[in-house]
Each structure stands twice: as structure tokens, then as C-alpha cells.
Chain A
């Protein structure tokens, strides 16, 4: 199932206009987020509902407006403990705990909230990352 979602997100991000590495980043973030939901919110149970929405948004940023892809994933599983959303130090070499790090590395904004009995994860990726500011 995850591979089907990855395929769909790949096509969507390509049509949205992201570069190849950016497409891979968004696919990775969605895949890792879904994996976390299945593992932690649903305790490994498959076949439970996960709602996903994708839309183009305009975001005010640095005095201008930028186009971005907004992805919202919602589940009805166990309420996520926000304290556990910090990830772990990467210097600690051990299996596990990388998913959240991958999501944060891949997206421009990652926000979590619990709303009306649902865990809600909002991911945002700007279509074109702003160029680094140059000093004279």
C-alpha cells in the first residue's frame, strides 16, 4: 500500500513542478509520516483510516507570496505525545527513530496538532526554495 501512495505522490509532485530531488523529499516525508501513523498511532494495525489532502497554497513569506504544496494527514489513532516528536540525537547510532528526522529534513514546515479527536500532521514544501541572501 505504501508503494502505491509513493507512486501517486511522485506523480503529483512532478506535475506540481518540483525538481527530482524535491519530489523524492516530499515522497519520503509522506511515506515516513504514514509509517509513523501505522506504527505509533495504530500500533502496527493496517487497514485503519488515514485521510490525506494535498493542495496548492499561497504563503506570505519574506514580504512576498510564494506557492507551496500543503499536505495534511489525519488519523484516528492514539493521541500522539508531542514530547515524543522531538526525534533523537543522530550521534546515537542505533536502529529506529529516524523517520521524524527525515520528515523535518525533507519539508519546509512540519506542524502537528490534535484536533477533534484526530492527530493532524501538516507538511508544507515551497515550490522554489528562496535563494540564500547575499551580503555586499
Chain B
């Protein structure tokens, strides 16, 4: 089960994601990210992962797709609020360094 809600702050979209990101739910996250980046061309998309309990490889893949889409359209794609479980998976994937990661949402939305 996953819950994704979006908030808009000036030119920034903030996604609050909670629950599990797995085979069943990652397509929903991917769709939400790509809509905001490819269709709405938001200059900055922030994904707050603080309440995420589990991420599998398909969840990481969705985040990578979001990152690639942001590069295509010239937007910023920022992850924030990473808990131990999410950090562990990004470390395992060795993809932690390709993302822009902020400790807090305040830092992620700062000018």
C-alpha cells in the first residue's frame, strides 16, 4: 500500500510518499513523477520519503526515471527525509550519489 500526495509551493512540487514502494505500487509513483516533470514541467520536484517503510528495486527504478526525466526537461529532482531503510537500499544500489539528497524538506525547497 502506498499513499502519494502532492503539494505545490510556488514553482515547486512536493510529493509526500508513505507506505511501501514495490512491484505493485511503484508504477503509481512513476506516473506521478513523470506527470509533474514531463507534462507540467515543474522547475523543481521534491520527493519526501520520510514515511516510506519499504523500497524495492522497482521503487529505486522509479526514482531513477524521475531523475532522468528531470534532466531531460532541465528541472531539479530532490529527495529528502530519507530514513534508514531508504538509505540502506540506495546504498546497496550504489545510486545514492547520483541523486540530489537533502536531510530535511526545508533544505530541499530552499532557494
Contact = CB atoms under 8 A, between A and B. Distances in A.
Interface of A: 1-3, 6, 21, 24, 28, 31-32, 35, 38-39, 90, 93-99, 101-102, 105-106
27 contacts: A1-B24, A3-B22, A6-B20, A6-B54, A24-B85, A28-B89, A31-B22, A31-B54, A32-B56, A32-B57, A35-B56, A35-B57, A90-B94, A90-B95, A94-B64, A94-B68, A95-B62, A95-B68, A96-B57, A96-B61, A98-B60, A99-B56, A101-B57, A102-B56, A102-B89, A105-B92, A106-B92
A93 B54 contact: no
Nearest 4 A-B pairs (CB), nearest first?
A95-B61, A98-B57, A99-B57, A95-B64
Contacts of A98: 57, 60-61, 93
Contacts, number: 62
Q: What is the predominant secondary structure among interface residues of chain B facing chain A?
A: helix
B73 interface: no
B22 A35 contact: yes
Please classify how large the interface on chain B is, using the bins under 10, 10 to 19, 20 to 34, 35 or more. Answer: 20 to 34
A35 B23 contact: yes
B103 interface: no
Given A3-B20, A38-B23, A102 B92 contact: yes
A105 B92 CA distance: 7
A90 B93 contact: yes
Contacts of A3: 1, 20, 22, 24, 54
